[in-house]
Amino acid sequence: MESPFARWFGRFMFIPGVGGNFVPLIQALEIVDKQSSGSVTLPGFSFALFCIVCWLIYGLLRRDKVLIWANIIGVINLVTLIVCIVVYA
């Protein structure tokens, strides 16, 4: 049986889990604003996308809603960033 603190903390982790995955979107907006992706590397963010897809699969296997939603948002934002890197390279 899960303790009340564990349940609360699981819900709380949705905030940093989702919030942290908006960092690539901020970077993408900066790339679009400057119309240059020279300050970021495609291989680095491609590897980050691979890692976050692995976390998404893990969340799906565990049926953990926090992991699933946080990593869906992360995948969307990283794909957006990678598209911006390629377009503005």
Q: Which three-class secondary structure string do you get for 12-56?
A: HCHHHHHHHCCHHHHHHHHHHHHCCCCCCCHHHHHHHHHHHHHHH
Which pLDDT band holds residue 2 (cuts at 50, 70, 90)?
confident
Q: According to the model, what pLDDT value does residue 60 have?
A: 97
Q: What is the mean pLDDT of the chain?
A: 93
Q: What angle do CA 17, 21, 24 make, to 5 degrees?
A: 165
Q: According to the model, what pLDDT value does residue 10 have?
A: 85
Residue 63 has pLDDT above 90, yes or no: yes
Residue 1 has pLDDT above 80, yes or no: no
Phi, psi of 13 (to 5 degrees): -65, -15
Mean pLDDT along residues 25-29:
92
